[in-house]
Amino acid sequence: MNLIEMWGYCADEKHRLLVYENMEKGSLAKNLSSMELDWKKRFKIALGTAKGLAYLHEECLEWVLHCDVKPQNILLDANYEPKLSDFGLSRLLSRGHELHKSSFSMIRGTREMVTGRSPSMADNGGEVEHKTLVEWVKEKKHGASARSSYWVEEITNPATGTDYDRKKLEGLIGVALKCVEESKDARPTMNQVVEMLLEIENHH
């Protein structure tokens, strides 16, 4: 289910320890710039992360909002299968309350996997612009660059190479942008995000 497993704990006087399964590749944050993290693995990580969030949001007996999804909290096993960790800030919602289609947090890890840029800055011809990465990607997708067939190449991280399925990457970017729509009614649920990613994977 793409969630980190807790194997045990210790509560001995002043000592408090939690024991989790070992994730050989460490965090996504440590791997983002690695040449071993090709686009196939990056898509796999995006899909696995979405599955983990979908389970928390819609399949648990009580809904859980992670509230702190970021590359540092996405851990990778030896096969680069992702698992969500660090639920210290998570919030439980009873079944009687509405879940506001909270796929918003999905975008953070996805946008950094694609662009290799920080969430609040983007490089523009050697200059650093103080705008959100979401704004920057939307400008590239819908602005002047959209008239060019190279807008995807302009926003991808060059360090990861060019060996990727362009249509699949376009689809991944499209899903990520849907997750940050201002209106909650326009944002997909995490189960819908999983379905969209599976469709992209199966048709490209």
Strand 6-12 with 26-27, pairing: unpaired
- Residue 27: give the domain boundaries: 6-203
Residues with Cβ < 8 Å from 51, sequence gap 6 or more?
1, 2, 194
Q: What confidence tens digit (pLDDT) does each residue in 87-102 have?
A: 655 555 544 455 444 4
Helices (H) and strands (E) in the chain, counts: 7, 9
User: How far apart, in whole angstroms, are the C-alpha atoms of residue 32 and residue 122?
Assistant: 17
Which one is predicted more confidently, 83 or 97?
83
Which one is predicted more confidently, 35 or 92?
35
State which H helix or E strand residue 7 sits in.
strand 6-12
Does residue 158 fall inside a structural domain? yes
Report pLDDT for 76: 98
Q: Which of 82-86, 133-137, 194-198 has the highest mean pLDDT?
A: 194-198
Does residue 1 fall inside a structural domain? no
Does residue 72 fall inside a structural domain? yes
Report pLDDT for 186: 92
Q: Interior CA angle at 29 toward 194 and 27, to 5°?
A: 80
Q: What confidence tens digit (pLDDT) does each residue in 126-173 have?
A: 444 556 777 777 777 777 555 666 778 877 877 677 788 888 988 998
- Decide: 151 and 166 in contact? Cβ < 8 Å: no
Three-state DSSP class for residue 128: strand
Report pLDDT for 68: 80
Does residue 172 fall inside a structural domain? yes
CATH number reported for the structural domain that contains residue 187 in this entry: 1.10.510.10
User: What domain count does the chain have?
Assistant: 1
Does residue 76 fall inside a structural domain? yes
Query: Per mean pLDDT, which range of 56-60, 106-110, 150-154 is the poorest?
Result: 106-110
User: How far apart, in whole angstroms, are the C-alpha atoms of residue 155 and residue 133?
Assistant: 10
- pLDDT above 70: percentage of residues in the chain: 74
- pLDDT above 90: percentage of residues in the chain: 35
Q: What is the mean pLDDT of the chain?
A: 79
| Active-site residue set | 68
Report pLDDT for 140: 76
7, pLDDT greater than 80? yes
Q: Nearest-CA neighbor of 109 among 3, 29, 16, 181?
A: 29
Report pLDDT for 175: 93
Residue type, 128: V
Which one is predicted more confidently, 82 or 95?
82
Alpha helices in the chain, H assignment, sequence order? 28-31, 39-54, 106-115, 133-142, 151-155, 166-178, 190-203
State which H helix or E strand residue 124 sits in.
strand 121-124
